[in-house]
Chain A
Amino acid sequence: MSVFCEVPQGAPVAVFKLTQDFNNDQFPNKVNLGVGAYRTDEGKPWVLPVVKKVEKIIVHDDRLNHEYLPILGLPEFRSSSSKIVLGDDSPAIREDRVGGVQCLGGTGALKIGAEFLRRFYNGNNNTKTPVYVSAPTWENHNAVFSSAGFEDVRPYKYWDAQKRGLDLSGFLRDLESCPERSIFVLHACAHNPTGTDPTQEQWKQIAEVMMRRKLFVFFDSAYQGFASGNLEKDAWAVRYFVSMGIEMFCAQSFSKNFGLYNERVGNLTIVARDADNLKRVLSQMEKIVRTTWSNPPSQGARVVAVTLSSPELFSEWKDNVKTMADRVLLMRAQLKAKLQALGTPGTWDHITDQIGMFSFTGLNAKQVEYMVKEKHIYLMASGRINMCGLTSKNIDYVAESIHEAVTKVQ
């Protein structure tokens, strides 16, 4: 009699199941608009040229070995990562109140931050502190916080399906009415899955309420540079909040902007009131990391650290990032133009108003089903498409299929 005979079959993660189905599909003109990874115009993954260069440097450097990194990670990686999001000239960094914890991707950074908050925020081990995530949000946000022990993970209003844009008044209302000290997960830029970000003015309003109501700011920054093509622009919201004196966490991912998906490169940036608070926080972060993965993987962090610390390589990286961002912008412009040319019912401005990898097309579940089953175009049930899946070769087919779905299926 097995101890595990009662273990039920768990549901697969939707986005990976989608890719699995896509892979199994024999249709020659199939298109994968599901999982969030960059693709070239040939529909291929892209290892950034600067990454290839740096990996060669690393593999030929005989001084390097595979020894353990410190628990909190590679020091040069941690500091250059925090600099990237907060800015070289960040007063918070100058004041020694910024720290980083190298983590396994953005997910890992969210996880370590969540574990810390559960233990030490709003009392000790307070699992009842509400955690707010946007409606909708990246599907793993919920699980990260609930698996860290938080019992109350709730949505805050964000996406207005009617007008296909930000529901700012709903968002602000939730900020005003939520329990004090609630934790809010904010997308720094290129909101996943809607691609809809607050404007600078809107961010200012959000920050004002959050400060006044003592809400905890937890930024998720997975697309810095990738959204607009400009690192500073994409970090504006984070830097604004820091300039207002707010203590916060920012989970950074280098999966997309460095194309280092499978090396799991992330950083949890901590902005504290001062160096003393920071020191104590980092000492407790160490304890959490030690029982989760002991110390983080070195390869990816080395690539990032080497790149960010060399002016030449840094410049090359920025170019590579701009290449990716520009291709996405081009696909957005072209998709909208084609839908307009086809006379597809509805307005399609949101395709170019939205930013980053994803677009919330507005297609409903039935229309999505049509796209997948009839047209072999794979997208999330929410209507989210990955713009990177579009290429000059398939964009006509996709535009026509969207047109069909919208006109045939209600």
Chain B
Amino acid sequence: MALLKSNKVIHCLGNISPALGALSSRNSSWWGGVQMGPPDPILGVTEAFKRDTNPKKMNLGVGAYRDDQGKPFVLSCVRKAEALIAAKQLDKEYLPIGGLGEFTKACAQLALGPDSEVLKSGRSITVQTISGTGSLRIGGNYLARFHAGPHDVYLPKPSWGNHTPIFRDAGMQLKAYRYYDPSTCGFDFKGALDDITKIPEKSVIVLHACAHNPTGVDPRPEQWKEIADIVKKRNLLVFFDMAYQGFASGDIDRDAWAVRHFIEAGHNIVLSQSFAKNMGLYGERVGGFTVVCSDAEEAKRVESQLKILIRPIYSNPPLNGARIASTILSTPELRSIWLEEVHGMANRIIKMREQLVAGLKQQGSSHNWQHVIDQIGMFCFTGLKPEQVERLTKEFSVYMTKDGRISMAGVTSGNVGYLAEAIHAVTK
């Protein structure tokens, strides 16, 4: 009763003074103690971009592919698949917890290759997940519950910003191994090997299968081989994150090379896949989580546990995107169109990289911009310093994240010249 009375008093006082009013509302709410969550850094970039009135403004924060007109691109194989699906007049019954069977099969085959011994022997399980994030989260939850080794997940330095909170919320601890060398804007191969050699046995190591996010720096095949060796010697559990298969080099097999090599080298990996970028299915949330096991019997047990993890989160996954993806992958005509289109997307990115470097040379830049071409995938770690990034934003309305990362997807033949001008201006 006293509490109610004092609330009334505070409320009346609140009518006199806003500050006291705020006190009243916080005291009488369950949520008075809830702090405002920190703003998302990347979202902040987009917000600021939207507010900018400069007609030449460029949003290089966006993590979604854009065509040469700067517009979102719906793949024609996706539209065709949608039409095929619509004609079938299917029902909307719940999917199984593990997802659409045709999808998980095609998803695994895409990653591991059609001739995979793993698939032939049935010693893996793939569940449909809520795109890459959902896959990583289920993976993290699975490891937190069942991994017999240390619950330390080693991420490359740097890694995708969301990796850390995902694994943390899943109940794992985060550690890092050297990866990016800022002095070369390339791969710190020696640093990586040195660090990996010291990782305690049975820890979990996250590897970006291709098109490393955020740096765009990937190991070369010979380097991957050495990494696979060291990881084997250290007996680490490999967690591959493959969000860009096909999108990196334009070739799905080439982009999956590392994953397949590790498996051939005897690693029983776990793997997250996303179809957000390579099929442009971002908002449909299409992904897969795969566990390669010793044998089919173990795979069955693992599957049963994955289902138990999934059920209390969202019961079963959404159908629409998975059906589109599976239709594309298993309809020969659509599959070839898809391969062409993903090749086209990758090519446009590669071309923009080349044009940006050519543009910088043309501007008279004396810096070495080779890394812009050597890096691969959607993102480029320019090597720009925070002060330079700030100038780019303030003086040229070019928006990117403070770490100097740009999304090549935001670059078009129409604006690459301007970008070269702007970067030269802040770096000369």
Contact check, B148 vs A277: say whether CB atoms are below 8 A apart.
no
Contact check, A299 vs B34: say whether CB atoms are below 8 A apart.
no
- The digit string for A274-292, where 1 denotes a CB below 8 A from any CB of B, is 1011011101101110111
Given A4-B293, A5-B298, A262-B95, A274 and B283 contact (CB-CB distance below 8 Å): no
CB contact list, A32-64 vs B, under 8 A: 35, 37, 44-47, 51, 55-56, 59
Docked pose: A44 CA to B314 CA in angstroms: 25
Contact check, A47 vs B92: say whether CB atoms are below 8 A apart.
yes
Contact check, A105 vs B314: say whether CB atoms are below 8 A apart.
yes
Contact check, A297 vs B284: say whether CB atoms are below 8 A apart.
yes
Contact of B320 among A10, A124, A263, A273 (CB under 8 A): A263
Binds B, one of A65-73, A162-170, A346-354, A359-367: A65-73
Q: Which residues of B contact A65 (CB under 8 A)?
A: 72, 74, 280
Contact check, B318 vs A66: say whether CB atoms are below 8 A apart.
no
Docked pose: A68 CA to B280 CA in angstroms: 10
Binds B, one of A140-148, A304-312, A321-329, A331-339: A140-148
Q: Which residues of A contact B373 (CB under 8 A)?
A: none
Binds A, one of B49-57, B301-309, B353-361: B301-309
Contact check, B86 vs A140: say whether CB atoms are below 8 A apart.
no
Contact check, B283 vs A67: say whether CB atoms are below 8 A apart.
yes
Nearest CB in chain B to that of A147: its residue = B312
Contact check, B78 vs A144: say whether CB atoms are below 8 A apart.
no
Task: Tell me the smallest distance from the CB of B275 to a CB of chain A, in Å.
Answer: 10
Contact check, A7 vs B302: say whether CB atoms are below 8 A apart.
yes
B285 interface hit (Cβ, 8 Å): yes
Contact check, B313 vs A292: say whether CB atoms are below 8 A apart.
yes
Contact of A287 among B37, B301, B308, B320 (CB under 8 A): B37
Contact check, B94 vs A37: say whether CB atoms are below 8 A apart.
yes
Contact check, B314 vs A111: say whether CB atoms are below 8 A apart.
yes
A89 interface hit (Cβ, 8 Å): no
Max count, chain A CB within 10 A of own CB: residue among B92, B93, B285: B92
Docked pose: A51 CA to B86 CA in angstroms: 12
CB contact list, A144-158 vs B, under 8 A: 144, 146-148
Contact of A280 among B28, B34, B97 (CB under 8 A): B34
Contact check, A260 vs B92: say whether CB atoms are below 8 A apart.
yes
Contact of A293 among B25, B34, B35, B285 (CB under 8 A): B285
Docked pose: A147 CA to B137 CA in angstroms: 13
Q: Which residues of A contact B25 (CB under 8 A)?
A: 273-274, 276-277
B237 interface hit (Cβ, 8 Å): yes
Max count, chain B CB within 10 A of own CB: residue among A3, A46, A147: A3
Interface size class of B (residues with CB under 8 A): 35 or more
- The digit string for A244-270, where 1 denotes a CB below 8 A from any CB of B, is 000100000001000111111000000
Contact check, A37 vs B93: say whether CB atoms are below 8 A apart.
yes
Number of A residues, CB within 8 Å of B: 76
B406 interface hit (Cβ, 8 Å): no
Q: Which residues of A contact B280 (CB under 8 A)?
A: 65-66
Docked pose: A216 CA to B313 CA in angstroms: 21
Q: Which residues of A contact B283 (CB under 8 A)?
A: 66-69, 295, 297-298
Interface residue ranges, B against A (CB under 8 Å)? 22, 25-26, 28-37, 40, 64, 72, 74, 78, 82-83, 86, 89, 91-97, 130-134, 137, 146-149, 162, 165-166, 168-170, 202, 237, 268, 276, 280-285, 291, 293-294, 298, 300-302, 304-305, 307-309, 311-321
Between-chain CB contacts (< 8 Å), 25 pairs: A3-B268, A4-B294, A9-B301, A12-B304, A35-B94, A56-B86, A66-B283, A107-B315, A147-B312, A247-B29, A247-B30, A262-B92, A263-B92, A273-B25, A273-B29, A273-B31, A276-B26, A277-B29, A284-B34, A290-B40, A290-B133, A290-B165, A292-B169, A293-B134, A299-B320
List 20 additional A-B contacts (Cβ < 8 Å) besides A37-B94, A261-B92. Answer: A2-B294, A4-B298, A35-B94, A59-B82, A59-B86, A67-B64, A111-B313, A140-B312, A144-B312, A264-B316, A273-B25, A274-B29, A276-B22, A277-B29, A279-B36, A291-B162, A291-B165, A292-B134, A293-B130, A299-B284
